[in-house]
Structure 1
Amino acid sequence: MNSQALPQFWRLYRALPKEIRLRVAKSYRIWRDEPHSPGLRFKRVGNRRPVYSVRVTDDYRVLGLLETDTIHWFWVGPHDEYERILRSL
């Protein structure tokens, strides 16, 4: 599976604390090598659209939209915002 981080993802990423940015990068490397690694909890979370989630920490998630064979990462942030986004999907 391929991936692409969208500009809005990078904007959100740069606003994160350094420790979380490092964890996001580590999670991405794990996902790239083994998307279904248990610690990532990579799963579909969108009912109408193929939106997928990756767990970064207990408190942070990443969201991406699957199109053909590419995940387009569009959001990264805290779990409470993640929950709000999920309700809108």
Structure 2
Amino acid sequence: MISRATPKFWKCFRALPRDIQAKAKEAYTLFRDDPWYPSLNFKRVHSSLPVYSVRITKDYRAVGILGSDKIVWFWAGSHAQYDGLLKQIKNDR
């Protein structure tokens, strides 16, 4: 699967603590090799939109939009922020 990232994703990424940035890079390597690798917990998080998340660590997630053979990552942050993002996405729909 092809991965791309938006400028917003990179802004979120740069705001992450350095150790989490390193973990995000590790998660990306796993995702590139096998999106369904168990520790990534790659899953759909919206019932009608193709919004998916991947686990960076127990406390951090990345979120993207899945197309036929490509995912465009648009956000990364803490699990608390992730919960708020999902509520916002569900309410906007």
TM-score tier after normalising by the smaller chain length: over 0.9
Unaligned runs of 5+ in 1: none
Task: Give percent identity, aligned residues only.
Answer: 47
1:12-51 CA-partner distances (Å, limit 9, x unpaired): 1011111000000000000000110110000000112100
- What is the aligned partner in structure 2 of residue 14 from structure 1? 14
Q: Residue 29 of structure 1 aligns to a residue in which SS?
A: helix
Could you list the structure 1 runs, at least 4 aligned residues long, displaced by more than 2 angstroms after superposition.
Answer: none
Length, aligned pairs only: 89
RMSD: 0.8
Q: Does 1:79 align with 2:79?
A: yes
Q: Does 1:2 align with 2:7?
A: no
Provide the TM-score with structure 1 as the length reference.
0.95
Provide the TM-score with structure 2 as the length reference.
0.91
Q: Residue 35 of structure 1 aligns to a residue in which SS?
A: coil
